[in-house]
């Protein structure tokens, strides 16, 4: 985002392909949260259902 400057913040039109860059950048934040949630759920299943040590 820093390399793109002000053009990277454009949501519609412009050179950012209708907001592709900012939307993709924001999506990476959600992906990291979702990944952590999956790991927590897998740990709960491993401990409670399968009886694996923590």
User: Which pair of tokens denotes residue 16?
Assistant: 């950012």
Cα separation of 16 and 33, whole Å? 25
| Nearest-angstrom CA–CA distance, 22 and 49 | 41
7-48 per-position pLDDT tens digit: 677 766 655 467 777 788 888 888 888 878 888 888 999 999
pLDDT of residue 16: 47
Q: Is pTM, for the whole model, over 0.85?
A: no
Distance of alpha carbon 40 from alpha carbon 48, whole angstroms: 12
């Amino acid at each position: 985002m820093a390399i793109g400057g002000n053009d990277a913040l454009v949501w519609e039109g412009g050179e950012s392909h209708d907001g592709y860059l900012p939307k993709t950048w924001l999506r990476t934040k959600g992906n990291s949260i979702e990944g952590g949630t999956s790991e927590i759920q897998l740990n709960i299943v491993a401990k409670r259902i399968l009886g694996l040590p923590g």
